[in-house]
Amino acid sequence: MGSISLPDMAVGIIHRCPTAYSGAHWKYDKNLCLGRCPPIFRTASKRKKNLFCKPHWLCKSRTSIFSSMDDSSDTFADVVETSGRNELLNIEEDELMTARKALSEAQARQEAIEKERDQLLEELASLEAKQQEYVATILHEKELAIAEVEAAKSLFHQKLQESVEEKFSLESKLVLAKNDAVELAVQVEKLAEIAFQQATSHILEDAQLRVSAAETTAAEAAYQIEKQIRDVTEGSILSIVEQSKYAIERALDVAEKAGEHATKAVSEFTEGMNPLDELASIQSKNIMLQGVVNDLESQLLLTRSDVDRLKLELEKAHAHGNAFELRAKDAEKALLEFQESSKKNTLQNEKEIMSLIEKMKKDSSERKKASSKAFKAELQSIRDAIGAAKEMAHSKDDAYLRRCEALQRSLKASEATTKMWRQRAEMAESILCKERPLGEGDEDSIYVVNGGRIDLLTDDDSQKWKLLSDGPRREIPQWMARKIRTIRPRFPPRKIDVAEALSSKFRSLDLPKPNEVWSIAQEKPKEGDTLIEHVIEKETIEKKRKALEHVLQGKTIQWQKTPEQTNLESGTGTGREIVFQGFNWESWRKQWYLDLAPKAADLSKIGVTSVWFPPPTESVAPQGYMPSDLYNLNSSYGSVEELKHCIEEMHSQGLLALGDVVLNHRCAQKQSPNGIWNIFGGKLAWGPEAIVCDDPNFQGCGNPSSGDIFHAAPNIDHSKDFVRNDIKEWLNWLRNDIGFDGWRLDFVRGFSGTYVKEYIEASAPAFAIGEYWDSLAYENGNLCYNQDAHRQRIVNWINATGGTSSAFDVTTKGILHSALHDQYWRLIDPQGKPTGVLGWWPSRAVTFLENHDTGSTQGHWPFPRDKLTQGYAYILTHPGTPVIFYDHLYDFGLHDILTELIEARRRAGIHCRSAVKIYHANNEGYVAQIGDTLVMKLGHFDWNPSKENHLEGSWQTFVDKGSDYKLWLRQ
């Protein structure tokens, strides 16, 4: 700030404020208002300045020059003495020197303040550099921590891979060695997990502590710097203002004193002089005063120039202050942003590390579970293979022993018969030749057959074998029975009591007993039966192949494989499937997926393995069987998200999800120019070329249909390559993206089974069921006994799929409708096997009583409600794959009954290929042994295992429902 000279007047700087302010250090005047001045910095300073200032520290004001005299020369009309003038000038020079000294001191203090501010800025810069170093250190430590985590992860994977390789290298050893290897791998996983946790826990804690310490230090440093700058700035401004105010007050006092002294001198001077002298002296003094005025004007101009320069410097200082304030705000904002970003990055890194740790824990637990499951599956496969080998060897030895015993019995019987007939021939010859005379009772002697062939032809067992060989026949009319009795030869009454027989006059022929006679129904075929031996050999080879396939598949199970990948084939699933139809005809009226999902735990608990879902696609009909856009899964049953949630719930309980896919027909979205609905929309935008040409309603341009026509919607031409490719892609999308595990194929009569084989091989489902619905044979309104043609058509379709798909056993359902009404003889065919597909190809037969078409609100072919328990007792204890209908389990109150039957099936180990041996099938009831450990009875037939001579073992009652059904398990 430049110097200001004040001759005979006081010059100062004022700030005009809108309001008056009074304080302890302020003097109030109506034309003067002093305010707090901002710090003034040198313009020549080239250092970077960063000052933290608050907005209220600066007060913008207008600056003006004031004086204690007017600009006109009339003010100086008064005359002063020369001595007084010199004294005033000396006083003014002293005041000016004092003002200059004060100004220089203020400038020195300002320079000191600037130096101190520069030091503070340097300290702030050093603190920022340290903070950056801390941040860099923290980031480096985080990178080291991440590197250590990755190293630990790689070490974990390496050790896991080593354990897997070690496991596979030890597979050729004994089972105990395998168990040790698995335990070692589990221990290695646990140690790796513990080491990883120990390695990462202290690193994370150290990093968090360092980050928090750095943030605390930076915040404290910023606060201290800001406080120091604020205190120093306020102090310097207050001191400058106080000094300036003091100097101005002193200048005003001096000016007042000079004015008073000048008036006194003028008054004294005027009293002692005459007018002429006064005039001359006044003129001379006027000339001198004019010079003085000129000098003062020149000094005033210089002062004004200094004031203007000070104004410019003050404006520059304001600009620098504003710039420093903006920089301070930007620095503060940047610091806050950096702190927030560092906090966010730290939290994000911590979350990522924690998620990585959780993921590694989850992967470790999943690998552990998968390894244990794989080991158990492999152990079970080895046990199954050993059991199959033992069973095969035992059955082979048993067959040879039975054949030898049969041959021995046959030889003995033939020798005894030959001997007996030789005796009879000799006796007859002696009688005819009258070699010996007849005794007294000889003329009445009649040879009695006790247990010989005559009994074999007339007892109850012969009727059984006749029923097995010829099948049931109509009841013999009375007139025919009377005629038969008249022509039948008369035999003597049978002697049951041995004493009575010995004392009788009738002579016995001593023929062999029935158990000594070889029976073809009880023994294995002879060596000469080439066709039968070929069938048996084929079954044996197939059984060996399945056992070896199961063993090999168990050996190739990897650690990461899921249970769905261990299924044997799509036509049978695991062989122990129990399917639950999870909907009925009215399910679309509710949020069905949300209603079905909570039932997953209950279904898994009672023993269900697969759940049949309703059609998932958008459909013209709400039930889903008239699909349009195949990729739109927002149907009447719920949204695609709800469907995925429901499938995930099933998977969480270990259940398979079977999707109901309609491949035969599809509803079009647009009309052709002819007004025919044959143009499809959505992702699969097909045209008339995708419709068969023999569909009369939709003007298709494709090839003729390979099956029956479904007239309600356009039938798809599966012979076209683009149609098959699109369907394969869609099925794989349902498998991979949606989560379905298998298929229920709707209306497969509409196209060839060869296309079904292609679709199944492309999508690789865990289980597939085809709906081949065909009418049974009836005669005069009654169900025919022989339904071979019906089940042959279903078997032909299964053959066309190459066995890749099973089919609903409609034949068994139709026969059960009549058989359970005291016609149980319908449940055995002439070959002694179960009727329906169950008797010919049980592994591909899916048995059921009711579905959404036959029951529910449609009721096209409902099963007799009073026979539901007997029907489920039959299909849940016999081979094949049984299906449970939703209404029966949750609406008809059969939950506990079905749970009990499923438990019996599980305990007996019944699967889709279990053997069936039927002991009785007549009007009163049905008795059969399934597998080796279960016997069941239907009807009011009075029977238990102790009454069956050929049923070995000790049996215990498991379920007793009286005349409905009974179940026994082998102890």
Kindly indicate the confidence band of residue 76, based on its pLDDT and cuts at 50, 70 and 90. Answer: very low
State the CATH number of the domain containing residue 783: 3.20.20.80
Count CB-CB contacts under 10 A for residue 185: 22
| d(C-alpha 13, C-alpha 36), whole Å | 12
pLDDT at 56 over 80: no
Residues 6+ apart with CB under 8 A from 699: 672, 674, 676, 678, 688, 691
Q: Is the CB of residue 606 less than 8 Å from the CB of residue 898?
A: yes
Burial class (CB in 10 A: 0-12, 13-18, 19+), 793: middle
Full DSSP string of 795-855: HHHHHHTTTSSEEE-HHHHHHHHHHTTT-GGGGS-TTSS-SSHHHH-GGGEEE-S--TTTS
Q: Is the CB of residue 652 less than 8 Å from the CB of residue 606?
A: no
Query: Which of 99, 72, 92 is closest to 9 using CA atoms?
Result: 92
How many helices and strands, by DSSP H and E, does the chain display?
19, 21
According to DSSP, the β-strands at 806-808 and 768-770 are parallel
What's the angle, vertex CA 449, arms to CA 445 and CA 453, rounded to 5?
A: 145
Phi, psi angle pair for 663, to nearest 5°: -105, -15
The percent of residues in the chain predicted with pLDDT above 70, rounded, is 63
Kindly indicate the confidence band of residue 110, based on its pLDDT and cuts at 50, 70 and 90. Answer: confident
Count CB-CB contacts under 10 A for residue 870: 21
Question: Is there a domain that residue 510 lies in?
Answer: no
pLDDT at residue 238, rounded to an integer: 67
Q: Is the CB of residue 160 less than 8 Å from the CB of residue 366?
A: no
| Mean pLDDT for the stretch of residues 399-424 | 74
pLDDT at 519 over 80: no
Q: Is the CB of residue 614 less than 8 Å from the CB of residue 588?
A: yes
Kindly indicate the confidence band of residue 470, based on its pLDDT and cuts at 50, 70 and 90. Answer: low
As a residue count, the chain comes to: 971
- For residue 808, the cross-strand partners are 846
Kindly indicate the confidence band of residue 33, based on its pLDDT and cuts at 50, 70 and 90. Answer: very low
Q: Residue 66 carries which side chain, given as an amino acid letter?
A: F
**Which is higher by pLDDT, 609 or 181?**
609
pLDDT at residue 944, rounded to an integer: 92
Kindly indicate the confidence band of residue 609, based on its pLDDT and cuts at 50, 70 and 90. Answer: very high
Q: Is the CB of residue 888 less than 8 Å from the CB of residue 868?
A: yes
Stated as kind and residue range, the H or E segment containing 769 is strand 768-770
Max mean pLDDT range (146-150, 184-188, 520-524, 748-752): 748-752
Distances in whole angstroms, Cα of residue 461 to Cα of each of 30, 922, 939: 142, 13, 20
In tens, the pLDDT along 763-784 reads 999 999 999 999 999 999 899 9
Phi, psi angle pair for 15, to nearest 5°: -125, 115
In tens, the pLDDT along 850-895 reads 999 999 999 999 999 999 999 999 999 999 999 999 999 999 999 9
Residue in the structure block whose two tokens are 């379920």? 959
Full DSSP string of 117-156: HHHHHHHHHHHHHHHHHHHHHHHHHHHHHHHHHHHHHHHH
pLDDT at residue 29, rounded to an integer: 38
Question: Is there a domain that residue 746 lies in?
Answer: yes
Distances in whole angstroms, Cα of residue 441 to Cα of each of 422, 511, 872: 23, 22, 64
| d(C-alpha 411, C-alpha 401), whole Å | 15
How many independent structural domains does the chain possess? 1
Question: Is there a domain that residue 969 lies in?
Answer: no
Residue in the structure block whose two tokens are 């090839």? 703
Kindly indicate the confidence band of residue 399, based on its pLDDT and cuts at 50, 70 and 90. Answer: confident
pLDDT at residue 203, rounded to an integer: 66
pLDDT at residue 63, rounded to an integer: 37
Phi, psi angle pair for 143, to nearest 5°: -60, -40
Kindly indicate the confidence band of residue 341, based on its pLDDT and cuts at 50, 70 and 90. Answer: confident
In tens, the pLDDT along 753-765 reads 999 999 999 999 9
In tens, the pLDDT along 208-244 reads 676 666 667 666 666 676 676 667 666 666 666 666 6
pLDDT at residue 79, rounded to an integer: 41
Q: Is the CB of residue 117 less than 8 Å from the CB of residue 229?
A: yes
- For residue 881, the cross-strand partners are 846
Question: Is there a domain that residue 737 lies in?
Answer: yes
Count CB-CB contacts under 10 A for residue 495: 16
Question: Is there a domain that residue 896 lies in?
Answer: yes
pLDDT at 119 over 70: yes
pLDDT at 487 over 60: no
Give the alpha-carbon dihedral of 130, 135, 138, 142, to 10 degrees: -160
Q: Residue 265 carries which side chain, given as an amino acid letter?
A: A
Active site residues: 746, 771
Stated as kind and residue range, the H or E segment containing 178 is helix 175-271
Distances in whole angstroms, Cα of residue 284 to Cα of each of 82, 469, 478, 621: 12, 171, 183, 127
Sheet hosting strand 965-970, strand order edge to edge: 916-921, 925-930, 934-939, 965-970, 955-960
Kindly indicate the confidence band of residue 261, based on its pLDDT and cuts at 50, 70 and 90. Answer: low
pLDDT at 752 over 60: yes
Q: Is the CB of residue 827 less than 8 Å from the CB of residue 834?
A: yes
Which segment of 151-160, 261-270, 284-293 scores lowest on mean pLDDT?
Answer: 261-270
In tens, the pLDDT along 902-952 reads 999 999 999 999 999 999 999 999 999 999 999 999 999 999 999 888 888
Kindly indicate the confidence band of residue 804, based on its pLDDT and cuts at 50, 70 and 90. Answer: very high
| d(C-alpha 188, C-alpha 178), whole Å | 15
- For residue 802, the cross-strand partners are none
Q: Residue 789 carries which side chain, given as an amino acid letter?
A: A
Kindly indicate the confidence band of residue 391, based on its pLDDT and cuts at 50, 70 and 90. Answer: confident
pLDDT at 47 over 60: no
Considering only CA atoms, give the Rg of the chain.
Answer: 57
Max mean pLDDT range (407-411, 456-460, 535-539, 939-943): 939-943
According to DSSP, the β-strands at 916-921 and 925-930 are antiparallel
3-class secondary structure for 251-311? HHHHHHHHHHHHHHHHHHHHHCCCHHHHHHHHHHHHHHHHHHHHHHHHHHHHHHHHHHHHH
**Which tokens in the block code for residue 564?**
């769905």
pLDDT at residue 669, rounded to an integer: 93
| d(C-alpha 947, C-alpha 971), whole Å | 17
Question: Is there a domain that residue 7 lies in?
Answer: no
pLDDT at 515 over 60: no
pLDDT at 2 over 70: no
| d(C-alpha 617, C-alpha 614), whole Å | 9
Count CB-CB contacts under 10 A for residue 53: 21
Phi, psi angle pair for 112, to nearest 5°: -65, -40
Query: Which of 599, 608, 657, 667 is closest to 632 using CA atoms?
Result: 667
Host domain of residue 807: 571-664+711-909
pLDDT at residue 307, rounded to an integer: 74
The percent of residues in the chain predicted with pLDDT above 90, rounded, is 40
What's the angle, vertex CA 300, arms to CA 297 and CA 302, rounded to 5?
A: 115
pLDDT at 564 over 50: no
Kindly indicate the confidence band of residue 556, based on its pLDDT and cuts at 50, 70 and 90. Answer: very low
pLDDT at 191 over 80: no
Question: Is there a domain that residue 863 lies in?
Answer: yes
**Which tokens in the block code for residue 860?**
């096209």
Which segment of 365-379, 583-597, 624-638 scores lowest on mean pLDDT?
Answer: 365-379
Q: Is the CB of residue 162 less than 8 Å from the CB of residue 234?
A: no
Phi, psi angle pair for 419, to nearest 5°: -65, -45
pLDDT at 624 over 80: yes
Within 649-734, strands assigned E span: 656-662, 670-671, 677-679
On average, the pLDDT of the chain sits at 76
pLDDT at 178 over 70: no
Which segment of 152-161, 605-614, 863-872 scores lowest on mean pLDDT?
Answer: 152-161
**Which is higher by pLDDT, 400 or 401?**
401
Query: Which of 615, 411, 410, 637 is closest to 518 using CA atoms?
Result: 410
pLDDT at 620 over 90: yes
pLDDT at residue 418, rounded to an integer: 74
Question: Is there a domain that residue 895 lies in?
Answer: yes
Full DSSP string of 539-582: HHHHHHHHHHHHHHHHHT--TT--GGGG--BTTTBTS---EEE-
Residues 6+ apart with CB under 8 A from 317: 38, 39, 40, 41, 43
pLDDT at residue 463, rounded to an integer: 52
SS3 918: strand
